[in-house]
Structure formats: C-alpha cells, structure tokens
Amino acid sequence: MSEAHTGAGDIGRRVAHRRQELGLSREELAERCDMAPGYIAYLEEKPAVVPPDTLTKLAGGLETTPRQLLGGLAERPPGATPGAAASPRLEELDTDECLRLISPGGVGRIAFNGRYGLTVLPVNYRIHEGSIVFRTVAGGTTDEDLRTGWAGVEFTVAFEVDRLDEAMREGWSVLIQGPLHHVTEEERRELARLEVEPWAGGERELYLRITPTRMTGRRVRAAA
C-alpha cells in the first residue's frame, strides 16, 4: 500500500485546515491544483483514498508537503529535521503583518509565571476586536494561576503563534504581550459566538482575553 493511502480519512481534514490557514476558497485551491472544486469538497468532507500524484498537487497548492498532509510529522517537534534554508534572511514584521498572520486563529502558546514557575501551554484561540480569546477550565490550575486576587489588577502574559515550513526551512513567529482579563458573564455571551473549540475538549467554559500592548514578529525566508 502506498504512503498516500495511509490514514486517508484524515487527509481531508488537513487539507481543509491548511486551505483555511491560507485564506483560500475551495474554488481557489482547485484552480491552483488544476482540479474540480467538487473534488476538493468531496475530499474535505468524505474519507477518500488520494493517489500519490493528486497528493503532490494538493501539497503544492497548499504550500506544504505530502508528508505533512499525511500527518507524517505529527509525532515530531517542529524543526526536528536538521538543516537550514539556503542563505536565510531574517525579517522583522510590523504590527499589521503580525495581525494578518494570526487573524485566522488556531493554536498559540500562552506563557506566564505559575505556581511551579514559568509555564508555557498550547491553547486554541480566536481573534476578537484585536484581542486574543481562549478557553480554559473554571477553577482549574490555569484559571487560579492567572488570578491576582485583586479586583481590577491583571497579570501580564506572553502569547506566541508561529508557522513553520520544514520543507523550505522557512517560517514566522509572532509574540504578543499584554494583560490577561477574565471575562464577565455579559462578555462571555458575546465571545461564545467565536466558536473557540479547545482540542483537549471537556468543560472549558471560562473565557480569557489578552489585550496586546506589544506585538512583534519575525519571518525567516530563503534567499531568492
């Protein structure tokens, strides 16, 4: 059995996720890959066996690799493959570009001083009116560690989002710093419409919001 047939039911989800990250419609992806839009829809919605040549076209249109679409890197830390881009260039990103990159939402990392020292945790997030919104367990360790105990006094935290292209040895990262706010019940009703869905599941009904006071970013590109 070829590699493209492994975990075929998961390929469609990865295709849809990457397409949305790039801000592409199904029609735009189909045009990039020289495929019918209906096939893209079928692939994203139904378990399907994807021939190797089709997988290669999809990876090209999605600016990724066949291996990533197959989930072959799921158990490895990003960047585990040795090497670097040819003549890499490091670029500083302005605030507008940082916001553009993180605006689709996804997974980021919150960093704060917890009861056991410096703590970094991955969370699913969305952007709402320029702020980072995520969910956690009410009364859980993260909730308690992020409460100051004084009304109107909030901890300052850091939040990082990145995207790495191992095949091209390129990528970007955005670092946000700002106060973390435990939302009120009235605010919660509005934020619930964002559909922030934690991968970890469970009862995570406490919404937290980070208001950026500083935002910086970097991008590594291979020389043209």
Break the chain into its structural domains and give their ranges. Answer: 3-70, 89-221
Residue in this structure with the two tokens 């158990």, named with its chain if needed: 75
CATH fold of 3-70 reads 434 Repressor (Amino-terminal Domain) (1.10.260)
CATH topology match: 3-70 vs 89-221: no
The pLDDT assigned to 209 comes to 92
Architecture per CATH, domain 89-221, reads as: Roll (2.30)
The answer to whether 52 and 3 are in contact (CB under 8 A) is: yes
- Average pLDDT for runs of 10 along the chain of length 224: 45 88 92 94 86 90 86 59 65 96 93 93 91 87 87 90 80 96 82 76 82 96 73
The pLDDT assigned to 78 comes to 61
Distances (CA, A) of 176 to 26, 82, 140, 203: 31, 28, 24, 27
Residue of 75, 57, 77, 66 whose CA lies nearest to 8:
66
Query: Whole-angstrom Cα distance, residue 86 to residue 74?
Result: 25
The pLDDT assigned to 5 comes to 42
Residue 95: φ, ψ to 5°: -60, -40
